Structure 1
């Protein structure tokens, strides 16, 4: 099979996922239609074999905690599938109809992940996919969460099976919570487990795969307020060298890169060149440019990945400062494109996307369970933790779901009482509670 192209994107919709249904999503999912002038290295005729699409804060928290995300998920699924299929058809010879099929969709509270495959190149090459979900907040609640999709792909004519794992997550917010984010990442390593119905197969963790893509609102910020020169979204009239130099100084203060260099998180994962676009958070809703003064800006929205064919030196502490070396073996997964979409303005985050090109396979694994796997964590990182037992995970997920609903449903009632306004609803609820209390006081005193 020829090299495989994977399009990956992450977007924190700022609780506005339902509004995304009515937006022009081509800049998010088909950036080639918008960015060719600015980013000439992005091929015009690219039609990815796989799409991995992650969102966070899909809808207001009270609705998400109450488990009411299904209508928005269904509507977005249909919209995305239609958009991808129409684009592929428009680029096909003689406009031959093309189609993207949904491989798997999974969600947990406000975090959702879709994987689509292009029928023309992937039909008959996919094995049985699986999903995993994990609440990351206290007690297993899901207002911070991780979800995963695992897909076996036959990349050779008769064999060459490989496992693709996509993980989408939303980690703890606020500048001070770096240790908390690090701990949540370790929880994902141990507890985002893919179970199987095969009695001969064991549950698998996210690094037990041939290719891993880790995306989401990871919430790592800059260590200090950056210079204004690097906070502009690049325009054709800008001096690109000056802009990238300013951003390079900002990357040095990126707390994710710092924690990675120190061996605390994301061992064995790499990413594209962050200087290619401005920090994606905290942007001003309704504006293409500009940042809120309430937060230190940062590249909170990230896409990291690893392939079993990547050489080990790409994951050394030094290489995290130079993620795309000039010389790399032909077997290395290449970053064809890495950028953001500032034109989408309904959220205080900007979407990020990456196009990855995986080289032709050089192995002949005859079955998914014999697929090559990623190596252990680099030496300057701690060993990855063992998997949490299924029994413990079941209890943890049950507790988290109960807590989500206990918070979510009363919250929905408060908002409903206020006609959609939470503060009004709290006032109405307090008034009703007072009347109820006066009534029962009178009953008992009588």
Structure 2
């Protein structure tokens, strides 16, 4: 069968910050979709088979900790589905109606992930999905978290089953907390456990998959202040050579790449060329260009991937050092498009998105539980950690949920009674207004 096209995007909406505002959060998808459709490097009229959409800081922290994300998720799911279907229809030469169906969604506090499938190409090819959630902050709280969706996909006509896993995460902030981010990543490897209703499937860890896509606000910054030339978003009038040189220098000081080269995190994962766009954080809300002087800039918003067909040379120390990673061969997943959307100015982050092409399968695996898996982490990375026992995970999740509510509900009450200030973010009244706005815009566009 034809290659599989996967569209992956991540955005920290910034709704936990002091400038939180009520808004239709789906508005950010429109410029992303339109800019991607106009990319001359992509085949004309390409329509993704799968969309994986991840957000962080989905709503203000006090509302998220109180467990009030469910109405936001419900409203956004319907709205996003409508947007994707309408966009695909617009790309059709004859405007043939297209439809996307929600495969699965997963959320924890302010981190959410949706996976949608195109009915025309994916109907009848998907197995039973699995989900996973994990609080990563102290005591299992969900202020920092990871969520995942795992999907079996029949890639061949009669077989060729593979497992696709999507993980969206929000790791610890601030320059000094690199070791804490590293520890949270290791916690994801050991404790983000996927469950499914498939009787043949057993609980599995993140890397027990054929393809892995890890996205989110990973919060790794630059190790030093960057040259001013590299912080421009890039225009036709800019000196391209100067811009590329500055960006290459910045990638060399990227702490995620450094920690990966030294074998501490992200073993066996790769990403696109970061020099294609300026660092995504910390941007000035309301401006296309410019950075806040309160934080050191960085490519905090990332999309990493791995496929069972990836050759070892993609993960050599030199590959993770080079601004432009080694090109993937034709028989493994390629990054057809990788970019950011600086025009979006309602957050201190810029969204990042990628179009990934999975080649035709060369195996005939007859069932999902027999699908090929990713290899062990390459040197110098140590073996991946064993799974955390189920009893410990359950206790950790119960404690985290209890702490979330003990903090979230009193905080909501304080904001509702007017005891909060600008830095507490959006109040309950604005939260309800946001839900109404999302629902009403969906009805109006239907």
Q: With the length of structure 1 as denominator, give the TM-score of the two structures.
A: 0.91
Structure 1 pair 147–102 and aligned structure 2 pair: CA distance change class (3 A): same
Matched, 1:23 2:17: no
Residues 291-326 of structure 1 show CA distances to partners (whole Å, capped at 9, x for unaligned) of 000000000000000000111111111111237666
Structure 1 pair 414–385 and aligned structure 2 pair: CA distance change class (3 A): same
Counterpart for residue 252 of structure 1? 252
Counterpart for residue 241 of structure 2? 241
CA contact (8 A) 1:21 1:79 kept: no
Counterpart for residue 291 of structure 2? 291
Counterpart for residue 32 of structure 1? 36
Q: What is the distance in 2 between the residues matched to 1:99 and 1:171?
A: 34
Equivalent residue pairs, number: 421
Counterpart for residue 103 of structure 2? 103
Partner SS for 2:209:
coil
Counterpart for residue 145 of structure 1? 145
Q: What is the distance in 2 between the residues matched to 1:200 and 1:409?
A: 41
Partner SS for 2:361:
coil
CA contact (8 A) 2:274 2:323 kept: no
Structure 1 pair 295–311 and aligned structure 2 pair: CA distance change class (3 A): same
Q: What is the distance in 2 between the residues matched to 1:387 and 1:230?
A: 41
Correspondences of 1:17-416 after superposition (within 5 Å): 18-21=22-25, 23=27, 25-33=29-37, 36=38, 39-198=39-198, 200-322=200-322, 328-416=328-416
CA contact (8 A) 1:221 1:256 kept: yes
| Range that drifts further, 398-407 or 86-95 | 86-95
Q: What is the distance in 2 between the residues matched to 1:22 and 1:203?
A: 33
CA contact (8 A) 1:418 1:424 kept: no
CA contact (8 A) 1:130 1:194 kept: yes
Structure 1 pair 102–344 and aligned structure 2 pair: CA distance change class (3 A): same
Residues 96-129 of structure 1 show CA distances to partners (whole Å, capped at 9, x for unaligned) of 1110110011100000000000000000000000
Q: What is the distance in 2 between the residues matched to 1:277 and 1:112?
A: 25
Structure 1 pair 286–328 and aligned structure 2 pair: CA distance change class (3 A): closer
Deviation at 1:334, TM superposition (A): 0.6
Q: What is the distance in 1 between the residues matched to 2:114 and 2:369?
A: 23
Structure 1 pair 104–323 and aligned structure 2 pair: CA distance change class (3 A): farther
Deviation at 1:20, TM superposition (A): 3.5
Q: What is the distance in 2 between the residues matched to 1:116 and 1:18?
A: 25
CA contact (8 A) 2:54 2:168 kept: yes
Higher Cα Rg, which structure? 1
Partner SS for 1:409:
helix
Q: What is the distance in 2 between the residues matched to 1:64 and 1:325?
A: 37
Structure 1 pair 421–44 and aligned structure 2 pair: CA distance change class (3 A): farther
Q: What is the distance in 2 between the residues matched to 1:351 and 1:72?
A: 19
Deviation at 1:3, TM superposition (A): 0.7
Q: What is the distance in 2 between the residues matched to 1:70 and 1:350?
A: 25
Deviation at 1:172, TM superposition (A): 0.2
Residues 348-390 of structure 1 show CA distances to partners (whole Å, capped at 9, x for unaligned) of 0000001100110000000000000000010210100000111
Structure 1 pair 154–348 and aligned structure 2 pair: CA distance change class (3 A): same
Unaligned 5+ residue runs, structure 2? 426-446
Partner SS for 2:23:
helix
Deviation at 1:328, TM superposition (A): 4.2
CA contact (8 A) 2:33 2:87 kept: no
Q: What is the distance in 2 between the residues matched to 1:63 and 1:416?
A: 11
Partner SS for 1:383:
coil
Partner SS for 1:10:
strand
* Higher RCO (C-alpha under 8 Å, 6+ residues apart): 2
Partner SS for 1:23:
helix
Q: What is the distance in 2 between the residues matched to 1:337 and 1:370?
A: 31
Structure 1 pair 78–201 and aligned structure 2 pair: CA distance change class (3 A): closer
Structure 1 pair 359–239 and aligned structure 2 pair: CA distance change class (3 A): same
Q: What is the distance in 2 between the residues matched to 1:151 and 1:323?
A: 32
CA contact (8 A) 1:270 1:323 kept: no
Q: What is the distance in 1 between the residues matched to 2:28 and 2:215?
A: 22
**CA RMSD in angstroms, aligned pairs only:** 1.8
Deviation at 1:241, TM superposition (A): 2.5
Q: What is the distance in 2 between the residues matched to 1:324 and 1:264?
A: 21
CA contact (8 A) 2:273 2:325 kept: no
